[in-house]
Homo-oligomer: A and B are copies of this chain.
Amino acid sequence: MPSLTRIEQALEAALATATTPGCAPLLAAAVRHAVFPGGARIRPRLCLAVARACGDDQPALSDAAAVALELLHCASLVHDDLPCFDDATTRRGQASVHSAFGERLAVLAGDALIVLPFQVLARAGTAAPARLAAVLTTVAGSVGMPGGIVAGQAWECEPQVSLQQYHREKTGSLFEAATVAGAQAAGGDAEAWRGLGSWLGEAYQSADDLRDVLADAQHLGKPTGRDAALGRPSIARERGLPAAMRHFDMLVRQAVDAVPDCPGAPMLRALVRSEAERLVPAQMAAPLRAAA
């Protein structure tokens, strides 16, 4: 089964267990709105690609790890879009959850989407108890304190911010968890895979930063220029667009180089390169590279 189909089916199965008949219906609708239709699903794709490179001998646990990371990503988007943070009215080309369902249901939908990953892991972990604790440690650590998404987002509330730490925690943590948990779910050598996720996560945030300055609101499906409006740390603003482009290219090279030699290595290197092209299309990158 191609990964994307496998991911959508696993996400559907996870939501089906959460939004059973009798569940508060508006919450169920808000949660579904936050997860479908999805974005690029890059985190779960990365997680499954690594699990496959490591043998994928417990596919239900690989699926659970992949789904968990995507749901946590969706949760962070819902809470980031709240009026007290980005106050974004659109997301992925449709109304943001708080715009469509109100602020209260957006808070609760985000909460539910933080919990559901652990319900999914518990279910899959029953059949693979020896691997559950490691996967759980990775997934929970990627979103919690001291260094996960939530901790990263909290730097936006601090007077002094390290740009690198902010990026690493807010975005890098989930990418790193995708490669580490993918390896752990399949019984692979988790540490050998950490670098790939770490570099790709930095590249991703770097691209977001570039696009935030460059792109128009229609192209991204969400309001842009918000980093500047909110006074957030940004390499593109601090060092200029050509330098930010050079930084992005360097991060992508590091990610490609970090793929360990294994039967799945060519597929993974191709995934990194195609993702880089999706993030910063050639027509956007070329003039910046020329100016560098």
Q: Chain A interface (Cβ within 8 Å of chain B)?
A: 17-20, 22-28, 31, 75, 79, 82, 84-85, 102-105, 107-108, 110-112, 114-116, 118-119, 121-123, 125-126, 129-130, 132-134, 136-137, 139-141, 143-148, 150-158, 165
Cα A27 to Cα B104 with chains together (Å): 22
Asked whether A114 lies within 8 Å of B114 as measured between CB atoms, the reply is yes
Asked whether B116 lies within 8 Å of A145 as measured between CB atoms, the reply is yes
Q: Beyond A18-B144, A115-B140, A136-B122, is A27–B130 a contact (Cβ under 8 Å)?
A: no
- Give the oligomeric copy count: 2
Asked whether A146 lies within 8 Å of B19 as measured between CB atoms, the reply is yes
Cα A136 to Cα B116 with chains together (Å): 11
Contacts of A119 in B (CB 8 A): 137, 140-141, 144
Asked whether B126 lies within 8 Å of A133 as measured between CB atoms, the reply is yes
Cα A121 to Cα B140 with chains together (Å): 10
Asked whether A122 lies within 8 Å of B133 as measured between CB atoms, the reply is yes
What residue of chain B has the Cβ atom nearest to residue A80's Cβ? B107
A116 touches which of B126, B137, B144 (Cβ 8 Å): B144
